[in-house]
Structure 1
Amino acid sequence: MRLNEFQNLSKRTLPDGELKDKLANYGMGIAGEAAEVTDELKKAVFHGHDLNADKIKKELGDCLHYIAGIATFLDLTLEEIAYENIEKLKKRYPDGFSEKASRNRVI
């Protein structure tokens, strides 16, 4: 599935209301779902749990839904967001990521 197709399909659950309320709702949604991803990783890294990739996949999907919603509210597409992010990373790390490049980056 392409990103813009996902974004379009996820529109069926968008809330009605004022833009500021929709943005707050979906911004908090991202934070909540990202916290669930973080909790799964914490359990695996620090608590001795098995890494549950299926659970993480579901929570990442929820994050993507909220990101798609905010993009829709702001008349952006997921594909343009993804493209611009890759372009930024290519400029920031032209030779790929390294700790040294991260410490010395100017962009």
Structure 2
Amino acid sequence: MDPDFARDFAAEWLAAWNSHDLPRILAHYADDFEMTSPMIQKLAGEASGMLRGQAAVGAYWAKALALIPDLHFEPIATLVGVDSLALHYRGAGGRLVIEVLRFGPDLKVIQASAHYAD
């Protein structure tokens, strides 16, 4: 993972989320990416906590953006792996979050996992 790409990706990803522009957010992801999150269990009612594909995840994120109209992410750190990034930030209500994003060869996210502090 190129450190310049990681820095630029993290800045654009955060800006996209903070703009609440769903197409801009989804542009970072492959069409068939997989998302896991405990919030999927709560908001989407999916017991596995996993959704696949832009249509399914986009519907879930649209619901989340509507429920939290003042959603804003504050960056803490970007950690670089071999083919992944871990984005550490403050999310809704100041809650600490780490999202691990794994990239395919086209530098689109193919797998994402969100982790929340209690």
TM-score by length of 2: 0.25
State the structure with more CA Rg.
1
- Relative contact order, CA 8 A, sep 6+: which one is greater? 1
Structure holding more strand per residue:
2
Q: Counting helix residues as a fraction of each chain, which structure ranks higher?
A: 1
